[in-house]
Amino acid sequence: MYSTKYVIAAIIIFLAIVTSPVWYDMASGEPIHPKLAKPTGAHCVENTEWMKAHHMLLLKDWRTMHVREGKVLYTSQTYGDVYNASIEECFKCHRSETNFCEKCHDYMGAKIECFECHTYPELVEEYNK
C-alpha cells in the first residue's frame, strides 16, 4: 500500500504543475497566448471559437471543394456571406502570415506545410521588392 500522505503530496505537486500556466498568468498579469496580428473585418469566416478549433478543417474542405469539385465559392454557415474557397482568402483580413498563422503554430507546436507551395503576404512583399 502507498502511504496516503505521499499520494496526496504527489497529487498536489501534479496539480501545481498542470495548472502552472494559470498561476503564471495570474502572477505576471500577462496572458500566455502569443500576441497575434490584429485582423481587419468585422468577423472571421465562421465564429471565432469555431475558427480557433477548426480552421484547418475549413481549409481542407475548401481545397476539396475547389480542386476536386470545382466549387470556388463558400457561404459562411454563421453569417451567410460568401468567400473564395482559397487559402489566400484568409489574408484579405489576416494581413500577416508570420505574425498570425505562424506565430500561433510555432507557439502551439503545430507544423504547417501549406506555405511550401501557397503564397502569403510576406512572400508577396519579398517578391515585389
Q: How far is the CB of 12 from ligand HEC (least distance, A)?
A: 30
Residue 2 burial by Cβ neighbours in a 10 Å radius (0-12, 13-18, 19+): exposed
Please tell me whether residue 124 binds ligand HEC under the rule CB under 6 A. Answer: no
CB of 19 to ligand HEC, least distance (A): 20
Instruction: Please identify which residue in 86, 95, 98, 122 interacts with ligand HEC, judged by CB under 6 A.
Output: 86
CA-based nearest residue to 30, from 38, 22, 20: 22
Measured torsion, CA atoms of residues 99, 119, 79, 31, in degrees rounded to the nearest 10: -10
Q: Which is nearer to ligand HEC, 4 or 69 (CB)?
A: 69
Which set of grid coordinates corresponds to residue 100? 498570425
Residue with cell 483580413: 93
Q: Which of 30, 69, 116, 126 binds ligand HEC (CB under 6 A)?
A: 116
Is residue 37 a contact point for ligand HEC (CB under 6 A)? no
Asked if residue 108 binds ligand HEC (CB under 6 A), the reply is yes
